[in-house]
Every structure is written in C-alpha cells, then in structure tokens.
Structure 1
Amino acid sequence: MTSLTPPAPATALHPRAGRRCHTVLNSLHSTHYFSPDVGSELAGLGISHPRAVNFAVRTAAMGPVGPGVVAAAFYNYKYDLVARHVPGIWRTASPEDVLAARLRAVDATLRRLLGEEALTSPEMAEAAGLALRATEACSRAARPLYAAHADLPVPEEPHLALWHAATLLREHRGDGHLAVLMDSELDGVEALVSHTATGKGMTPKWNVAIRGWSQEDWDAAVERLRARGLHDGKAELTEAGVALRRDVEEATDRLDRAPYEHLGAAGVERLTELGSVFAGAALKSGAFPADLLGKE
C-alpha cells in the first residue's frame, strides 16, 4: 500500500550558514598570500616586490589588465599603489606563467602547512567534491574576479581542487560584497576602516602596508565616518555603524546564497566541518601573521 505521508522537508539552510562556510574556506584560500613559497615562485619570474606579487597572483586570471581594471576589481586598494606595479608586472611575466607559478606555490604551501597525510586523505577529496559542487551555482554576471577564475581549469589533485573551489567561492562573494559597499556609500578606505572597527578586519598597520593608504588617508576616512554618525572617531563603531556593517554582511549573504542553497544544508554543514579542520591546521602551522587581525 502506498503511504500518504509526505516526505519530510529538507533541512532549511541557516541564514548565516553560507557566510560561516565562506569564512572557513577563505582562510584556506588566503594562506598563499602570506606564504614565502609565492614570493619565491614569483621571484623566479622576475617579480619580487611584495605588492607586485600580490597584484600579479590575484589578477593574472583576468589577463594583462591595466591599473584601472585592477583598482576597480579590488575596490579597497589605493589606485596610486596599483599603478606603481600594473601593468609593469605584465612586461616582466605573462599571466599564464604567473598562474602556473601561483599553483606551484599553493601546492608547496598546503603541503608544508597541512602535511601529506591530510592532502591525500578521503576527507580532503570529500571537501573538494563538496566545494566544487557549491560552485556549480555561482554566477558570472557582474562578478569580474569570480568570472575570470571560473574560466581556469580545475586542478586534478584534491587539495588543489579544494583551493581552486575556495578561490571561486571567495571571489564570488567578494564581487557581490563590493556592490553592497557601493550601495552603502562606503568607499574603499571607509570600508576598511569600518571593517577594522568590528575587530574582524585587518589592523590599520596591515591595511596601510598592503592596500597603499597613508595614515592621513585612514584618519580622513575615520573623520568622514564620524561625520555620518558611524564611527566614534577613535577605534569603535557607533550603534549606527554596527547596524550598517550588519546590514552590509546580510545583504552580501543574500547575493551569495545560491552556491550554498545548491549544496544544501547537510552539504554546507559537512564542508564547513571539513574546512574548519584544514583551516585550523593551517593556522596552527603559522599560516598568518599573529598581528594580522584586530583593531590595533
């Protein structure tokens, strides 16, 4: 006899589940930005300045673009810094050579941070499969960094496939995040200042060093936010500022929900669990500077 009982509904995806999963995977993706292996590989191509290395590895997927394109896609880097290195990097090395060097560096970095046992584990292959499945629902529309990376081939080795998928998911969320920042009327340096004030962003020291803003630029952005009632003028957001940053993240969640809805609640939970293990191991192995995050 056929049962008349309807099937149980699938577990609903928690509103912040995608954000939590992204945070874990982004940590794994970001390990190579602070890796000596990247600097070594790019030095072999003739690119040695730390900022030039950063621009090269992150923009190579877009081809030999100029500083305007890079500044637009990155949003919170000072144009003057970008223009010092782009397009000069492409006269030194081709984007294709940079992409190959980056993948070699990522391979070396993950092997050093995680160890061979983790890289060849069934859990690594499972995580790669889940992350790649999530990327099936990503959209290229109005997402230049994601779209450029989505045209790259998926590496065969599971740890590199996971890193590639994490990169796609990072850039997909990031491109949508920039649209939300613009709608919130936060320019590049204001976005950094307000994020740092939450305690979750990079410290002013690292933002100034990496993004190219001077202390005067930073202080001026603080004053603009204070005038809008969003910042206390020191290191904290006001109640209105906290609410704005919450709204920014929630709007970004909405624009980025498709990959995680496609993967499903159980898949997102499992990917977050696996990713947390790998990202945690990388953190314990010293993947990031100790003073990278915080308000000071």
Structure 2
Amino acid sequence: MSDVATSTGRAPTVFVPSAEALATVLAPEARPPRPSAWSASMTFGWRAMLKIKHVPEQLFDVTAFPIIMVLMFTYLFGGALAGSPREYLQFFLPGIMVTSVVMITMYTGVGLNTDIEKGVFDRFRTLPVWRPAALVGMILGDVLRYILAALVILGVGLVLGFRPDGGVLGVLAGIGLLVIFSFAFSWVWTYFGLVLRSEKSVMGVSMMVLFPLTFLSNVFVSPTTMPGWLQAFVNVNPITHLVAAVRAAMSGSSDPSNTIWLLLWSAGFLVVFGTLTMYRYNRR
C-alpha cells in the first residue's frame, strides 16, 4: 500500500466511523439489567436440577440407598432392640431419615470439587452476576435431593408400618427441620470441596466426619443405655439434637430445648463455613 501511495502521490483513505454509527451497530438496544442475587442463585439452582435430568443415576443415593438403610437396620436390629421390627420402626425411622439425608450432603462438596477441576467455575466467575450465586444455587438445587430422600424413607416406613402420631403437620415440621439443618451443614462440605484437591479426598474426609456423628448419636438406641463417657459426646452431638427434634415433631409433641440447639448449630455452620467458603472462593 505504501508503494501505491508513493506512485500516485496520495495518502490512502481511512474510514473512521462516527460514535453514532458504532452505537447503532454494537448496541442497537438498551443493555439488559443485571440479574438480582436471588434470580442468579435460582438460575444456578435450576442448572443443578438439570444435571439430575441428564444424569438420572445421581438419584441412586436419594432413592435406593435410603431404602436399603431402612430395610437393613429395621430387620437387623428391630427384634433384638425393641422386640419386633415394627415397634423399633416407630423409634428408628426419624433417626435413619436424618442419617440418610445428612450423609447425602457430602455430595455437595464432591460435585463442587468436580466442577472446579473441570474449569466450570472459572467460567461462572467471569459472568456479570452476584459472585456467590453459583455456590448458593448449587446448594439450593441439592435441597430438592434432601426432600426427595426424606419422602422416599417416609414412604418405605409407612409401607412397613410406621405411623407418625403428629400427622401430616408433624411430618412436614420434622422434614422442615431436617432440610434447614442439611442446608446449613452442606456449607461444611462446600468449604472442603474448595480446599481439598480431589473428589476422592472430599469423600474420604466427609465419611471420616459423618460416621462418628451419625453412629455415635441417638439414631439407633437411646443414649441412656451408653457408658457415661460416651453419653457426654452423644449429648452435645448436633445429630443428636436434630434427631430428637425431628422425632418429637413426628410424634406430635415438642422438644424446645433440642429444637433451639438444632437452630443454633445450623446458624453456626452457616455463618462459620459460609464465610470461610466465600473467602476461599473469592481468592481461589
């Protein structure tokens, strides 16, 4: 082009578009408003549910696993501990419901770790949305799994002979308390999902924490039958407070002490591990 300009004696013509022309081409309409924190979180929650639609095998842990737990422990321990499986089921079913749902919460951290390793969350953090929306939405999506697992266990229990004296309202209250605790408790595994390097590490640490919490509690037997040194741990175990509150709600009574402790534990998990998770997420 320089040779042509030299031979003709004229400089090449350069087209410079006006600001109005650029605005017409690049932004013909007004920019859409930025989504609210709630809207963004619900969108990511819908993404979590769509993952279940495309990979239905993910529902194995909230369907087959709870059924196996109920049948196995009812008929394995029922006759020895309560004289008959049906009598034991009245005491046992709220506890195994808590155990199954609380164990499912660890998959929140496993799923987060998998998405991070695949680079999915690197893309999410570049979007013009509320930054924690991806994490909050993922956990909100998992709440559906918790409810589904609780309903599956309740259905199996009703077939086997479980009869909640609290009726429908008592059952709804018990499941509501369980969902509140599980939502708060899942932030623990979300933090581990950010800190640990692989999904196997997250699962290993989760099981190491969950097994003592769920088995050293009042799920299977009353703490009064345990040695004094073990009762000291069982009585301060958050799972013990949760089981007692759910059991009382389903039986049609109330347990204000354990319910208050349950809500305090839930608030503590949410504040402490929610804050740690956001701090780690923003600096990862």
- TM-score, normalisation: structure 1: 0.28
Q: Which of these two proteins has the greater Rg computed from alpha carbons?
A: 2
More helix as a share of residues: 2
Bigger RCO (CA 8 Å, 6+ sep): 1
